[in-house]
């Protein structure tokens, strides 16, 4: 049997399954809904290609300190439908404009998320916006290899582990390949997303036909999740009001490998890293946009020439890398599981989604006491006094 990554480190990227010449590795969901490789030992010919493709087993990538930019796409419609500054859309259009193809994460009709391939500008909209659950890569790595061998320019985008996996799978560099990863907090379970959707549909007695994790009509910074139902109703909730986003951001529903993620800081295979410019108001106030500002990190000369290629579509400001990353710990450090994560997955199939999350994330007596204290007149008085003294 091949020696693949241990379960707690396996990112579910599917590079091993893509690499297997006998198709004897299938990516199968475990009880939590995360995909892991299952090897059919009887058909395995021990060629070792799956082990070679595994980004967890492979060595580190060494990128120099990236050049950092605050970026905002000049096209308001693009920014409105992207998570932050709409940079990905500009890169994708640039690649298609050169006869290339683009791979990224998109919703399918049932609102599951997979990696798809697009070669026409009109279809690129499916990639816009973050989908906060693990995307199924399927056979995308094989398709990328075919496109590259046919001499096409390829843009691949995904989480840092997916971008690293593609490089390990390919096993060599291609001039025509450009890779973009996102600063990644962690990925929630597709099963948690399905349970959330099912509960909402049952409550509303209508099918959900559209979801947007980063609705911006009130603010780009509030993680507003918008769902539209077949009956015409639309529900928009902030990340704090929405139990799916609370479960994600507090580490109830996220993948075990994310807590040990190796693809942080400069250990990235990508040419460009995109993120939300959290803290832009203090790190680069002149780059703040009410509709969203992206943080762009250029990791390679290829990334730098792509940025030059799209510069006229963007408002682009070089920023100090350390200051820009101060508000974004997910760039360099793995996230942590919530102490009640095991209870979340143990009850996911039995309990109604919102009830379960509300119950598990209910403040403890000590937290309630702290909340009450911070809202009290005495505490507010102390804070005011401290502010006056520091003036
Ligand atoms: C799971 C996840 C966690 C994230 N965590 C952080 C974070 O902690 N801090 C931070 O600054 N930014 C984070 N981001 C990135 C951020 O949300 C934006 O994607 C980024 O700011 C780029 O925005 P944009 O406006 O340029 O482009 P957008 O149009 O928003 O970017 C879309 C790109 O993201 C890719 N993408 C979308 N969903 C997925 C997915 N499920 N899996 C793989 N790729 C996907 C698409 O393929 C496309 O390339 C995260 C994104 C995801 C998907």
pLDDT surpassing 70 at residue 383: no
Ligand 1 mean position, distance from CA 84 (Å): 9
Name residue 71's beta-bridge partners: 294, 316
Instruction: Report whether pLDDT(386) > 90.
Output: no
Ligand 1 nearest-atom number relative to CA 182: 15
Question: Which residue minimizes the CA distance to atom 12 of ligand 1?
Answer: 275
Residue with tokens 């998570």: 83
What's the maximum distance between 2 C-alpha atoms anywhere in the chain? 74
Whole-number pLDDT of residue 373: 76
Q: Which of 78, 114, 182, 268 to mutate to test the pocket of ligand 1 (most atoms within 8 A of CB)?
A: 182
Distance CA 252, CA 146 (A): 38
Q: Where are the alpha helices (DSSP H) in the chain?
A: 15-19, 49-53, 76-80, 87-97, 140-149, 160-170, 190-204, 243-249, 280-283, 301-310, 321-325, 341-347, 353-360, 365-375, 377-390
Is 39 in a helix, a strand, or coil? strand
pLDDT of residue 3: 94
How far is the centre of ligand 1, averaged over its atoms, from the C-alpha of 372 (Å)? Answer: 36
Asked whether the predicted pLDDT for residue 18 surpasses 70, the reply is: yes
The answer to whether residue 366 scores a pLDDT higher than 80 is no
């Amino acid at each position: 049997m091949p020696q693949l990554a241990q379960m707690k480190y396996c990112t579910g990227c599917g590079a091993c399954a893509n690499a297997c010449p006998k198709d004897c590795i299938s990516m199968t969901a475990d009880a939590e809904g995360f995909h892991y490789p299952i090897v059919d030992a009887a058909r395995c010919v021990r060629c070792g290609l799956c082990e070679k493709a595994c980004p967890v087993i492979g060595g580190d990538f060494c990128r120099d300190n990236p050049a950092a930019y605050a970026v905002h796409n000049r096209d308001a419609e693009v920014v409105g439908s992207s998570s932050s500054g709409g940079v990905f859309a500009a890169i994708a259009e640039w690649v298609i404009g050169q006869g290339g193809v683009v791979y990224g994460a998109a919703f399918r009709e049932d609102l599951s998320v997979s990696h798809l391939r697009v070669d026409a500008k009109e279809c690129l909209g499916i990639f816009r916006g973050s989908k906060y659950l693990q995307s199924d890569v399927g056979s995308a790595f094989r398709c990328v290899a075919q496109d590259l061998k046919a001499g096409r320019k390829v843009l691949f985008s995904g989480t840092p582990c997916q971008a690293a996996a593609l490089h390990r799978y390919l096993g060599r560099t291609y001039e025509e390949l450009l890779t973009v990863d996102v600063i990644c907090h962690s990925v929630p379970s597709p099963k948690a997303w399905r349970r959330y959707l099912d509960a909402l549909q049952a409550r509303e007695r209508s099918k959900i036909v559209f979801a947007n994790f980063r609705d911006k009509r009130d603010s780009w910074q509030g993680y507003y999740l918008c769902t539209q139902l077949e009956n015409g109703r639309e529900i928009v909730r902030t990340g704090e009001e929405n139990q799916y986003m609370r479960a994600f951001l507090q580490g109830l529903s996220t993948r075990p490998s994310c807590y040990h993620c190796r693809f942080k800081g400069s250990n990235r295979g990508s040419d460009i890293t995109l993120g939300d410019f959290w803290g832009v108001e203090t790190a680069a106030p002149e780059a703040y946009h009410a509709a969203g500002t992206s943080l762009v990190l250029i990791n390679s000369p290829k990334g730098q020439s792509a940025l030059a290629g799209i510069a006229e579509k963007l408002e682009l400001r070089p920023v100090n890398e350390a200051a820009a990353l101060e508000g974004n710990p997910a760039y360099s450090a793995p996230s942590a599981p919530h102490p009640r994560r095991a209870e979340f997955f143990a009850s996911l199939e039995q309990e109604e989604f919102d009830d379960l999350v509300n119950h598990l994330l209910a403040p403890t007596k000590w937290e309630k006491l702290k909340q009450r204290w911070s809202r009290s007149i005495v505490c507010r008085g102390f804070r005011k006094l401290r502010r006056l003294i520091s003036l």
